[in-house]
Structure formats: structure tokens, C-alpha cells
Amino acid sequence: MTVAQLTAEIRRKQTFLCIGLDTDLDKIPAFLKNTEDPLFAFNKAIIDATHDLCVAYKPNTAFYEAYGSMGWMALERTIAYLEESYPNHFTIADAKRGDIGNTSGRYARAFFETMSFDSVTVAPYMGRDSVEPFLEFEDKYVILLALTSNEGAFDFQVLPAPQEALYLQVLRKTREYANADRLMYVVGATKATFLKDVREIVPNQFLLIPGVGAQGGSLEEVCKYGLNNQVGLLVNSSRGIIYASGEEDFAEAARIKAAQLQEQMSAILLNSKI
């Protein structure tokens, strides 16, 4: 799926919501636990209940790896289901990978070929040859960690002056990478005003904003500083949607939470005339 197609979907559906599938056996409704593949059963129900309200799904690999190869199989079934039933959704493997060149190439194969994700999140610490192997795939995208939404972001990403903050250096430097048109960036919503600085360096790239909802970011603030004239934003919510209820109505409850965000997004898009 291309960025142009993603933008068209955002405009058509009036939503730039991404739903994080951080699926956790300890948190899914008890009645699902006796099914043959509870992680997939949960994901399928959430997807079926919310697909018209969002444009992207983002499973975080940690939640699947925690269950070993069984979890990995549930992840494979989830992406296969999305591809088959909802091919117009943008899919993100939130994997935060990155290794030396030949090894990053293996991760790229894992997520883009063995599975058919549209994009993968990548950590920038190892630099150019750890990122470029992911960028070689046509119509596939890398979402690079720039500014994350956790407290630890202040350990290295946001270092005090006089030097420019590391996350801004990451933005600047990675624009030189081969196929940089396939780069998007993670920018944490808990620091919405930083988006102003981000947009000065990457006015046209898509930004994936985690941390709206459970992590406490404000959608209005994010849009104020982050929207560009192609929208250019994917706003993710994981726990706030998928664990809205722990009972049999979990999918309907997820739909209600997703619909609230979609309505807010629709109003913002209308007001800003994008």
C-alpha cells in the first residue's frame, strides 16, 4: 500500500486512527481463553468491530513473542487476515528492529515478505546501514523512532543544549538515506509542542503518534502542530480501545472508543479544511 493510497483512505473515511493490537492473554476476556487461538480470536473480533473507523492496525511484536512460536503464529494469522479481509488498511509491525546491514535485511524479509506488513518500526541507533535495507522494498515503509512517548526519551533523545537534540539530528540525518521517501517517523504525543520542531525538518513525512489515550496525549494539540496539507498523521491508540471492556462486549466497547476518536478526527479535518 502506498502513502497516496493511505492518504486517500484517510480522506474517504475521515479518520487517521491507528489501532494498536497489543494483545495480552492476561487482559483479554476470559471466555476467549479456551478457544484454539485466543490471541487471533481477540484480534479478529476487534478488527471486525473497528475497521471502518480506522485506517491502520499496529500489532506490537513484543506481545506475541512473549508467547513464543504460538504467539508468532497468532501474529502471522492476524496479518494474513488483515491482508485478505481488509487490504485497504495500512499495517504496521511495531517491532523496533535494527541491526547491521545484512541482518536488518533479514528483519525486512521477516516483516515484508514472510509476513506482508506495509511498514515496520525501526530504531535509529545503529545508523544508515541498519535502516536502508528496510527501505529497499517498493511500496513498503519504515517508521523510524524519532521522539518516543516514554519518560526514557529524555535520557538520550532530548539532550540539553548547546547541541541540537538527538531526535532532531536523527530526523535531519535520515533524510539523506537512500529511498528516504519511504521513511515515516514515530513522534510521541506526550510532547506535542515538539512537533513544531519536527515539522520544520520533515514537513511532508507521515508521523506515527503513539501515546494518545492511555499514555495521556491530547489529540487537539497533536493536530495543531502535526497536521500537514496531506494530513500526514497516523494517531495510534492501543489499550484505550482494545481493553475498553474485559467482558463479552469487548468488541462493541472497542468500537465505541474508536468511534469517539474517529468523530474527533473528522471534526478536526473539517475545521482545518484539509
Helices 250-272 and 219-226: angle between axes, nearest 10 degrees: 40
Confirm if 212 and 190 have CB atoms less than 8 A apart.
Answer: no
Output the nine-digit C-alpha cell for 15: 479518520
- Among residues 68, 84, 193, 273, which is the contact residue for a copy of itself, using CB under 8 A? 68
In the range 6-35, which residues lie near a copy of itself by CB under 8 A?
22, 24
- Residue 243 touches a copy of itself, criterion: CB under 8 A: no
- Specify the residue, 152 or 193, whose C-beta has the smaller distance to a copy of itself: 152
Contact between 240 and 264 (Cβ < 8 Å): no
CA distance 225 to 242: 27
Query: Mapping DSSP to helix (H, G, I), strand (E, B) and coil, where does residue 162 land?
Result: coil
Is 80 among the residues that bind a copy of itself (CB under 8 A)?
no
Q: How many residues bind a copy of itself (CB under 8 A)?
A: 55
- Binding test (CB under 8 A) with a copy of itself, winner from 76, 83, 197, 221: 76
Among candidate residues 27, 44, 96, 224, the one labeled active-site is: 96
Distance CA 105, CA 241 (A): 33
Contact in structure between 234 and 56 (CB atoms under 8 Å): yes
Question: Any contact of residue 36 with a copy of itself (CB under 8 A)?
Answer: no
Subset of residues 153 to 182 that bind a copy of itself, contact rule: CB under 8 A:
153-157, 159, 162-163, 166, 169-170, 173
Q: Within 87-116, which residues bind a copy of itself (CB under 8 A)?
A: 94, 96-101, 103-104, 106-107, 109-110, 114-115
Q: Which residues pair with 121 in a beta bridge?
A: 143
CA separation for the pair 32, 53 (Å, rounded): 24
Cβ-in-10-Å burial (0-12, 13-18, 19+) of 103 comes to middle
96 included as an active-site residue: yes
Q: Least distance (Å) from a copy of itself to the CB of residue 152?
A: 2
CB of 155 to a copy of itself, least distance (A): 3
CB of 274 to a copy of itself, least distance (A): 29
Closest-CA residue to 187 (of 226, 239, 142): 226
Give residues in contact with a copy of itself (CB under 8 A).
Answer: 22, 24, 60, 62-63, 65-69, 72-73, 76, 94, 96-101, 103-104, 106-107, 109-110, 114-115, 123-131, 145, 148-157, 159, 162-163, 166, 169-170, 173
Provide the annotated active-site residues. Answer: 96
